[in-house]
């Protein structure tokens, strides 16, 4: 599975969009990009995943570059409850274990 790199931390004002980048320059054609987040003292929570196309759900949007070497998770209107560590994970199809990196600690402030 490709290694991913993320900034260690980011800040975002409440109500603004939070854009969290992830580099996965060694990603291969059958690897998906997954995003999870972990709010303090809780288990990780699935957010979204994608392969090539941009994806959107009720929580977030995922923008994947055309060359698939990087992606951005967008929380359109960040709230204080979005403060968490966000993990970007690349995962081959039909595999099982998630390999978590160090993630990005997002702090949403009032």
Partner 1 sequence: EAGVTQSPTHLIKTRGQQATLRCSPISGHTSVYWYQQALGLGLQFLLWYDEGEERNRGNFPPRFSGRQFPNYSSELNVNALELEDSALYLCASSLMGLAGGSSSYNEQFFGPGTRLTVL
Residue span 51-80 as binding mask against partner 1, x where in contact by CB under 8 A, dash where not: x-----------------------------
Spatial separation of the C-alpha atoms in residues 46 and 35, rounded to whole Å: 6
Spatial separation of the C-alpha atoms in residues 101 and 66, rounded to whole Å: 23
Sheet holding 61-64, edge to edge: 18-23, 70-75, 61-64, 55-56
45 binds partner 1 (CB under 8 A): yes
- Of 74, 99, 104, 109, the residue at the interface with partner 1 (CB under 8 A) is 99
Spatial separation of the C-alpha atoms in residues 24 and 83, rounded to whole Å: 23
- Of 43, 58, 66, 67, the residue at the interface with partner 1 (CB under 8 A) is 43
16 vs 52 by CB, closer to partner 1: 52
Binding residues vs partner 1 (CB under 8 A): 32, 34, 38, 42-46, 49, 51, 87, 91, 93-103
């Amino acid at each position: 599975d490709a290694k991913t790199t993320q900034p260690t931390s980011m800040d975002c004002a409440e109500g603004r969009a939070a854009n969290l980048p992830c580099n996965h320059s060694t990603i291969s054609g059958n690897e998906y990009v997954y995003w999870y987040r972990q709010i303090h003292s809780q288990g990780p929570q699935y957010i979204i995943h994608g392969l090539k196309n941009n994806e959107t759900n009720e929580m977030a949007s995922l923008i994947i570059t055309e060359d698939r070497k990087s992606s951005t998770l967008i929380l359109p209107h960040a709230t204080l409850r979005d403060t968490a560590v966000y993990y970007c994970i690349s995962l081959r199809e039909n595999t099982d274990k998630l390999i978590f990196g160090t993630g990005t600690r997002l702090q949403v402030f009032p």
